[in-house]
Amino acid sequence: MSTKGDIFMEYDVIVIGAGLAGLTATAEIADAGKKVLLLDQEPESSFGGQAWWSFGGLFLVDSPEQRRMGIKDSKELAWQDWLGTAGFDREEDEDYWGRKWAEAYVDFAAGEKRAWLHEMGVRIFPVVGWAERGGYLAEGHGNSVPRFHIVWGTGPGIVAPFERRVREHIKNGIVTYKPRHRVDQLITNNDAIVGASGSVLALSTVERGEKSSREIVDDFEYRSQTVIVSSGGIGASFDLIRKNWPSRLGKAPKRMISGVPAHVDGRMLEITEEAGGRIVNRDRMWHYTEGIKNWNPVWPNHGIRILPGPSSIWLDAEGNRFPAPNFPGFDTLGTLEAIQKTGYDYSWFILTQKIIEREFALSGSEQNPDLTEQSIKKLFSRILPGAPSPVQAFMDKGEDFVIADNIDNLVIGMNKLIGEKRLKAEHVERQILARDREMDNPFTKDLQITAMRGARHYLGDKLIRVAAPHKILDRKNGPLFAVKLNILSRKTLGGLQTDLSGSVLNDSGAAIPGLYAAGEVAGFGGGGVHGYRSLEGTFIGGCLFTGRETGRAVAERVG
């Protein structure tokens, strides 16, 4: 939509998307006394967006929690890990601003990030997790040390202080919040963005995360000096995922499950592109390989990610063990590539009762009631015999689990689950027996066993995360479990290219007046702060950082 002449500005800023990035930006702008209109296509029940459902992991560097666990970390080591993980190779063009955002973010994570959140009441679980361990050389992919800090309260705990700040401004009239307002177009005037128009959707009473209707009951048009797009990525749009799927990862999966609600549809990427914004790194995305179908789904194709320790045997669809470093928790994208190049879109874990009790955790706020509810009593129940209750529920009710007392019956159950005799028990047994023979000495040529033993040198892993190494086929460690692992959609690593103020750039590299972006829609900064891979704990942090920096920049610029 294009308009000419004098324009009456109803608001200083319009923020599109009430997820974590949008809430952070809104809070910063409103704190500066600027009038904000916050629009979201979902009902108020979904205030906070995807972040509410998250495990609440934060990437922090040289934190008090790390130091108490005996972890020696530094900004220099973190930056080394980031560069080795991101693999920036388009630095004169698509990666130019992403790398600048990355350097600024590592400074933030090693500097004021923790204190800034702590001042707002955010508290951190004392045991630091080790996600994306890499498995390559020192300058390759992965975290050299544990950096995955879990928020006490998980996703809801990280959303809460920003929701509180925004709601206070709603009460005092600085922020106007309009749910069920779907933006269909950005309004331009003399090449500047001056507002947004779209459709008012029918009232909806669905619960948080449930799919809401798209029935249109009215339209709207609002004007502002500035528009911030903070609408998330494409994780729930399998069509867009397949359209942008890179050939380096093999063929796109025929079947996937969704790690995000249906409203994560990527609409605003195309709408912003039509208004002149440049999208970069479309081929970069982050999907998990350890997805299981939710037995109690909230949104369509709802999947949950297993957060595995390093001990499970990982087999492809034909029962072949993946080579190093494709071990659980080491290289998500590398293992995704290995899976897709098999020609199948699923794989298997085989493990024991001892492993599932110690090493299986499930991602998401609803799958971790002890941490989410901040319940010490429930937290201590994790050390009791048996699998954690959310994991046990999937074992009892989930369709992706097979349990047996020996390998022959386990493989029979695995073949029954997929509906054909694809797996041969003798082939699977031979590989696991070979692995088990390597357990007779404290040294081995099996790199997964070396990694397991190495992980237990870190106190946090030894206490609560990594099972004592043992033989898989020894009956005293049973029963045996097999878990069918699906590809689980999640994050968009590319997006709208932005400079360090959050200004959206056009194809010529110039900032579009009045247009900003924050969060996943901007590739968590610059159109791709992560490059090709993520270090984990950086998605929530990327929303916080881009929302904060963009909000502060906009607050300074609007008159």
Mean pLDDT of 119-146: 96
- How far apart CA 410 and CA 362 sit, in angstroms, is 23
Cα separation of the two ends of the chain: 24
Tens of pLDDT, residue by residue over 8-55, are 678 999 999 999 999 999 999 999 999 999 999 999 999 999 999 999
- How far apart CA 220 and CA 209 sit, in angstroms, is 25
Mean pLDDT of 182-204: 97
Residue 383: the pLDDT is 73
| Half-sphere exposure in the Cβ direction for 331 (13 Å, CA) | 25
Percent of the chain clearing pLDDT 70 (strictly above): 99
Contacts 24+ apart (CB under 8 A), 376-385: 382/464, 383/464, 385/357
Mean pLDDT of 386-412: 94
Tens of pLDDT, residue by residue over 39-50, are 999 999 999 999
3-state secondary structure of 146: coil
Q: How would DSSP label each residue in 431-478?
A: HHHHHHHGGGSS--S-HHHHHHHHHTTSHHHHHHT-PPP--TT-GGG-
Mean pLDDT score of the chain:
96
Is there a cis peptide before residue 64, judged by omega within 30 degrees of 0? no
For residue 365, pLDDT over 90 is answered with yes
Task: Say what angle helices 407-418 and 425-437 make with each other, to 10 degrees.
Answer: 130
Instruction: Categorize the per-residue pLDDT at 4 as very low, low, confident or very high, splitting at 50, 70 and 90.
Output: very low
Tens of pLDDT, residue by residue over 103-122, are 999 999 999 999 999 999 99
Mean pLDDT of 249-272: 96
* Phi/psi of residue 226, nearest 5 degrees: -145, 145
Residue 6: the pLDDT is 42
Mean pLDDT of 134-145: 96
Residue holding tokens 């995305």? 285
Percent of the chain clearing pLDDT 90 (strictly above): 94
Residue 1: the pLDDT is 41
Residue 388: the pLDDT is 86
CB 127 within 8 A of CB 149: no
Helix (H) or strand (E) holding 239: helix 238-244
CB 224 within 8 A of CB 9: yes
Q: How would DSSP label each residue in 246-292?
A: -GGG-SPPSS-EESS-TT---HHHHHHHHTTPPEE-TT-EEEEEEEE
- How far apart CA 443 and CA 233 sit, in angstroms, is 45
Tens of pLDDT, residue by residue over 504-537, are 999 999 999 999 999 999 999 999 999 999 999 9
Tens of pLDDT, residue by residue over 299-309, are 999 999 999 99
Residue 2: the pLDDT is 38
Token output for 318: 């034909």
Instruction: Categorize the per-residue pLDDT at 478 as very low, low, confident or very high, splitting at 50, 70 and 90.
Output: confident
Tens of pLDDT, residue by residue over 54-88, are 999 999 999 999 999 999 999 999 999 999 999 99
Cβ neighbors of 493 (< 8 A, separation 6 or more) are: 281, 284, 285, 286, 523, 524, 528, 530, 531, 532, 534
- How far apart CA 111 and CA 114 sit, in angstroms, is 7
Residue holding tokens 């498995």? 135
Residue (of 121, 179, 150, 498) closest to 307 by Cα position: 150
- How far apart CA 69 and CA 127 sit, in angstroms, is 7
